[in-house]
Amino acid sequence: MAGVHAGTKRSHDKIGAKPHRKPLQFPLSDKTTHWPTIPENRKKMAVFVVGDSHVYWMGRLVEKECHDFGLNESDVYLFGTRGARVNYMFDFFKMIRKFVEEYRPEKAIWISMVAGNDLYFDEEMVMTTAIALCDLANATRSSKLVDAFCFTNMWERHPKSQHDDMTTSEYNMYVRKLNKYMQCLADGKLHDDMKRFKHIKPFQKLDNVYFEKLQGLVDIRQYLRDDGIHLTDDGLRQLCKSIRKKAILLLTRTC
């Protein structure tokens, strides 16, 4: 399928707020992994979509239905990891940066859907996580690897979804906190809650680093599977449309 490349990995690590793990290897290569390769006839523009199982299953659906996102002048790369946790994403981001460094398109945008299978931190840890993620975005932008970096809002889970360590209402509370903290940071501000901690310093905003909602998935619950977490095929198709709209908007902003 020309123009769309789906990278997928299933993680078997159990990673919490203070992970203990071996460094991830690059490139990924085993029977459960598909890591995109750079095509010989690559296009001048590239869209890198990075995230958790939503992106993983979107990549599977894209391959199955030969969906090309309708971005004729851009290559689209999908990097999704099942069972992803917030801390795992830091290593995942670093590996994908190596891919981007080798690719070096004339114009590139990075859209990231933050994983949250381990989002059962205390409030201060949620703040620290938000800052670390935005620091990664700023570092990626300041190195001129991409022309725009956009985090999308995390979704709350359906009340019927199951969690080992907390209730769904508690999980969703932390989702809302992480979303509002990252929104402020992307605007170059500290949320009032963060000002209570002296070690949290003012955040330096860079141009073209965003935290925005995906359009078309306002009522996410109607697209959830029976587990209350993952998207149905119709939900994944809506996610594809939302990613396309966001990519077009970001590419327009960087013209």
What is the pLDDT at residue 242? Answer: 92
- Phi/psi of residue 132, each to 5°? -60, -40
Domain count within the chain = 1
Cis peptide before 27 (omega within 30 of 0): yes
Task: Identify residue 186 by its one-letter amino acid code.
Answer: A
19 found inside a domain? no
| d(C-alpha 174, C-alpha 168), whole Å | 10
What is the pLDDT at residue 243? Answer: 92
Per-residue tokens: 93: 């981001």
16 found inside a domain? no
42: domain CATH number is: 3.40.50.1110
- In angstroms, how far is the first alpha carbon of the chain from the final one? 27
21 found inside a domain? no
What is the pLDDT at residue 59? Answer: 85
Q: How does DSSP assign the chain, residue by residue?
A: -TTEEEEEEE------SS---PPPPSS--STT-B-----TT--SEEEEEEESHHHHHHHHHHHHHT--TT-TTEEEEEEEEET--HHHHHHHHHHHHHHHHHH--SEEEEEEE---TT----HHHHHHHHHHHHHHHHHHHHTTS-SEEEEEPPPPPPTT---SSS-HHHHHHHHHHHHHHHHHHHTT---GGGGG-TT-PPPPP-TTEEEEPPTT-SSGGGGB-TTSSSBPHHHHHHHHHHHHHHHHHHHHHT-
Task: Identify residue 214 by its one-letter amino acid code.
Answer: L
46 found inside a domain? yes
3-state secondary structure 105-137: CCEEEEEEECCCCCCCCCHHHHHHHHHHHHHHH
Give me the tens of pLDDT residue by residue for the chain, a chain 255 residues long. Answer: 446 666 544 333 332 333 334 444 444 443 344 566 677 777 888 999 988 888 888 888 888 887 778 888 888 888 888 777 766 677 777 778 888 888 778 889 999 987 666 666 677 778 877 888 888 888 888 888 899 999 998 888 777 666 556 778 888 888 888 889 888 888 888 888 888 877 777 667 778 889 988 877 767 778 888 888 889 999 999 999 999 999 999 988 887
Question: C-alpha angle 21/25/30, rounded to 5°?
Answer: 105
Provide the residue range defining the domain that includes 30: 4-11+26-253
What is the pLDDT at residue 163? Answer: 59
Q: How does DSSP assign 57-91, residue by residue?
A: HHHHHHHHHT--TT-TTEEEEEEEEET--HHHHHH
What is the pLDDT at residue 15? Answer: 29
What is the pLDDT at residue 119? Answer: 66
What is the pLDDT at residue 239? Answer: 92
